[in-house]
Amino acid sequence: MTTARPPVPISVDGPHGPIRLKWHKLRTRYDEAPFKPSNLALGWRLGASLEIDILATSDERFVVAHDPTLGPSTTGRGRVAEMSLAAMAGLLHRDRQGAGDPEAPLLPLGDLIAPLRAVRRAPGAGLQLDLVLPGGRSPSQLAIDTAAAAACGLEEAVIVGSYHLKEARRLVAAMPGARLGYDPTRAASRDSVLGRDPERLFRHLERRRDGLAVAYLRFDIVVAAEVRRVPLVARLLELGIETDAWTINPGRGVSDAILRTLVESKVRQLTTDAPSEIARRIAGLFRT
Residue pLDDT, tens place only, 236-270: 999 999 999 999 999 888 999 999 999 999 999 99
Mean pLDDT of 202-219: 98
pLDDT in the model for residue 288: 59
Give the dihedral of Cα atoms 278, 213, 126, 132; nearest 10 deg: -80
What gap in Å lies between CA 181 and CA 36, rounded to an integer? 23
3-state secondary structure of 240: coil
Q: Nearest Cα to 223, choosing from 248, 205, 203?
A: 248
pLDDT in tens, 54-84: 999 999 999 999 999 999 999 999 999 999 9
Mean pLDDT of 3-28: 92
Residue 1 has what pLDDT?
46
Least confident of 21-35, 46-60, 85-99, 185-199: 185-199
Find, among 3, 19, 7, the residue nearest to 286 by Cα: 19
pLDDT of residue 252: 83
Q: What is the pTM of this model?
A: 0.96
Share of the chain above pLDDT 70, in %: 98
DSSP characters for 56-112?
Answer: E-TTS-EEE-SSSB-TTTBS--SBGGGS-TGGGTT-EEE-TTS-EEEEEE--BHHHH
Q: What is the pLDDT of residue 215?
A: 98
Specify the CATH number of the domain 11-285: 3.20.20.190
If you average pLDDT over residues 34-40, what whole number do you get? Answer: 98
270: which DSSP letter? E
- Quote the mean pLDDT of the chain: 96
Cα–Cα dist 187/82, whole Å: 26
Q: Is 281's pLDDT higher than 80?
A: yes
pLDDT at 4 over 70: no
Q: How far is CA 170 from CA 1, 153, 180, in A?
A: 47, 18, 10
> For residues 9 and 85, is the Cβ–Cβ distance under 8 A?
no
Report the DSSP beta bridge partners of residue 56.
62
The 10s digit of each residue's pLDDT in 126-158 is: 999 999 999 889 999 999 999 999 999 999 999
pLDDT of 185 strictly over 80 = yes
Q: How many residues does the chain have?
A: 288
pLDDT at residue 87 greater than cutoff 50: yes
Residues 6+ apart with CB under 8 A from 82: 58
Alpha-carbon distance 223 to 235, whole Å?
A: 14
Please give the average per-residue pLDDT across 215-231, as a whole number: 97
Report the pLDDT value the prediction gives residue 128, as an integer from 0 to 100.
Answer: 98
Distance linking the first and last C-alpha atoms of the chain = 22
| All structural domains of the chain with their residue ranges | 11-285
Indicate the SS3 state at residue 232: helix
